[in-house]
Structure 1
């Protein structure tokens, strides 16, 4: 989910880069052990008894989807907890959470509550989405053929786009219902 490079701050300030990549989520005790190990190695390299402070010098999201704000002094326990929550979601749900954070402006907690109100139409145009919607919701047998054959899908798709409820990202159409 998220890889962070945890660095011993005191060793860094003394001119040594002592750290290690850690993949989150991880068991909380294992995370604390890993930080303790990094700080112990840094103190040993510097010839000191103990180091207490670390910082995150680099981070990367494994799937390329940014879901969490990370900075040098982010709380590792909070990052780990958020990654643990996200690990329960499938890739489509992660895309929905990312959409709400990056495009709608939701904070992490709110995006986790609302992601089920986002629909993703993969590799479709908005016209395709309109056609699919009409096929699924309108009983065309009760509409005169002259009307059914002259539905302007392009005009409807433009109206939907103007409404702001639909957004194209790459080759996908996102629809946030916002109930």
Structure 2
């Protein structure tokens, strides 16, 4: 599992309006001192006695998070929320699950994702990417089927069991896995 990351390119708005692209890359992490970063990149080309105010924007970003969109208007507060999310996910080895939940939700709602992950409000079954594989998993792991002998289990329609379970619980198949949101 690779750690999730986000980097943004902070650009000096004043110099941009004068026709120059001046700024620098900043890692989005809980260790980032945004006041210091803004002073460093927004003063570039202005002169040390000039104030920079809120004269910056984000002109580019890099990430390995599916569906993450950072705009030039993304605030420092939003970047700090993303940094806290990244720290939680990376420290708890939830990178793959986080990316799949993001895909399942269809957007990058940090607050909702954090709640789902912290409170374990999801079911994630690896390698159960279709009805038949999900049905096999259910037959082997669900207590309803545990009392059945292997001879009887052999005759069960795994595909129908998996399909019905997926439909009844609102789950989805994604990247070869099964995901169900509980909240």
Same fold, judged at TM 0.5 (above):
yes
The runs of 5 or more residues in structure 2 that have no matched partner are none
Choose from 112, 136, 140 the match for 1:135.
140
What aligned pairs does 1:1-179 form with structure 2 within 5 A after superposition? 1-28=5-32, 30-44=33-47, 49-52=50-53, 53-61=55-63, 64-66=64-66, 68-90=68-90, 93-104=94-105, 107-115=109-117, 116-126=120-130, 127-138=132-143, 142-143=147-148, 147-163=152-168, 165-176=170-181, 178=182
Change (3 A) 1:146 1:49: closer
| Count of aligned pairs between the two proteins | 173
Distance in 2 (CA, whole Å) between partners of 1:79 and 1:88 is 14
- Deviation of 1:148 after TM superposition, in Å, equals 2.9
Distance of aligned partners of 1:102 and 1:16 in 2 relative to their CA distance in 1, 3 Å threshold:
same
SS, match of residue 179 in structure 2: strand
Structure 1: stretches of 5+ with no match in the other structure:
none
RMSD: 2.9
Greater helix proportion: 1
Deviation larger for 67-76 or 31-40: 67-76
Q: Matched residues in 2 for 1:35 and 1:136: separation?
A: 53
Q: TM-score, normalised by structure 1?
A: 0.78
For the 8 Å contact 2:127–2:176, the answer to whether it is kept is yes
Work out the CA distance in 2 between the residues paired with 1:35 and 1:75: 12
Q: Matches of 1:173 and 1:95 in 2, distance apart?
A: 13
